[in-house]
């Protein structure tokens, strides 16, 4: 369904396709964060992170409910959703800083390349892509050294309530022995989610989970320059 560009309604969850370069900047990932480490990307969406980081030696599992779709259908959907996301960002041009990408055309090109890489990897390495929905993941406790979660929690705070966020964070933390990194801390309209985050940090603290903030190397939604970290048992 095509959404009118002058609306604030993004519709269903967008299936976006970020690249490894974007994940590196967003989550301040160094090569040492990737090499031989077990990494969960949830939601994986149509990101090429799993494909590209695996080529560098990481052991990546991407989890997302969309992986129930047949791969051929998902390949096509990744591209149409990329176009939908670019239409949305272009229609809300002033909410974003474009300098990391250069301009909207380069942003669109990068996302299309990522969606294409994702589609090819999905066919070549289907075992990397696990159909799963927060707040319940089919992984054993402490299965991952690092967990990355981009553009679901906080992004869709208009439709996912505080209880869902808390259950999802507890689940991500359960499966990760190291850090769980979350970005952005604003919703899809760019509104900071400070009250929700303060509530969640208190709940997590009461359950013995330490949290902190870290600056990112990336800003697309204006002002979205930090990530939330949940520290795991192997993480001091
Ligand atoms: C905006 S995309 C983000 C994808 C990727 N992390 C990126 O940054 O490009 C949001 C994704 O969240 C997924 N999603 C929606 N509900 C979910 C849930 N309950 N658990 C896990 N993923 C979910 C959607 O299918 C969609 O692929």
pLDDT tens digits, one per residue of 136-186: 999 999 999 999 999 999 999 999 999 999 999 999 999 999 999 999 999
Q: How far is the CA of 19 from the centre of ligand 1 (A)?
A: 15
Pairing of strands 226-230, 38-41: unpaired
Beta bridge partners of 91: none
Question: Mean pLDDT, to the nearest integer, of 78-87?
Answer: 93
DSSP letters spanning 192-217 = B-HHHHHHHHHHHHHTT--EEEEE-S
Q: Which tokens in the block code for residue 115?
A: 């969606």
3 state DSSP class of 128: helix
Q: How far is the CA of 104 from the centre of ligand 1 (A)?
A: 22
Cβ–ligand 1 contact at 157 (below 6 Å): no
C-alpha distances out from residue 172 to 30, 120, 210, 230, Å: 21, 27, 13, 9
pLDDT band at 10 (very low <50, low <70, confident <90, very high): low
Q: How far is the CA of 232 from the centre of ligand 1 (A)?
A: 22
Beta bridge partners of 129: 62
The answer for residues whose C-beta is within 8 angstroms of residue 119's C-beta and 6 or more apart is 46, 71, 74, 75, 78, 79
Report d(CA 188, CA 62) in Å as an integer: 22
Instruction: State the sign of the Cα–Cα–Cα–Cα dihedral 222, 225, 226, 227.
Output: positive
Q: What angle (nearest 5°) sits at the alpha carbon of residue 96, between those of residues 94 and 100?
A: 130
Does position 236 have pLDDT exceeding 70, yes or no? no
Q: How far is the CA of 196 from the centre of ligand 1 (A)?
A: 19
Cβ–ligand 1 contact at 150 (below 6 Å): yes
Q: Which domains occur in the chain, in start order?
A: 20-230 (3.40.50.150)
Question: Mean pLDDT, to the nearest integer, of 66-79?
Answer: 95
Return the ligand 1 atom nearest residue 133 CA. 20
Cβ–ligand 1 contact at 165 (below 6 Å): no
């Amino acid at each position: 369904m095509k959404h009118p560009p002058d609306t604030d309604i993004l519709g269903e969850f967008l299936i976006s396709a970020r690249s490894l370069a974007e994940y590196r900047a967003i989550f301040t990932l160094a090569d040492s964060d990737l090499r031989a480490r077990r990494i969960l990307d949830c939601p994986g969406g149509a990101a090429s992170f799993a494909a590209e980081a695996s080529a560098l030696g990481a052991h990546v599992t991407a989890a997302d409910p969309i992986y129930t779709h047949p791969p051929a259908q998902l390949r096509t959907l990744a591209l149409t959703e990329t176009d939908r996301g670019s239409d949305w960002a272009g229609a809300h041009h002033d909410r974003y800083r474009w300098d990391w990408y250069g301009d909207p055309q380069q942003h669109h090109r990068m996302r299309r390349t990522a969606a294409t890489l994702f589609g090819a990897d999905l066919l070549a390495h289907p075992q990397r892509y696990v159909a799963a929905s927060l707040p319940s993941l089919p992984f054993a406790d402490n299965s991952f050294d690092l967990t990355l979660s981009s553009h679901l929690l906080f992004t869709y705070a208009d439709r996912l309530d505080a209880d869902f966020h808390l259950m999802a964070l507890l689940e991500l933390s359960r499966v990760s022995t190291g850090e769980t990194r979350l970005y952005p801390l604003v919703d899809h309209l760019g509104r900071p989610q400070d009250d929700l985050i303060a509530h969640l940090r208190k709940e997590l603290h009461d359950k013995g989970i330490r949290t902190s903030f870290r600056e990112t190397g990336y800003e697309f939604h204006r002002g979205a320059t930090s990530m939330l970290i949940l520290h795991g048992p192997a993480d001091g």
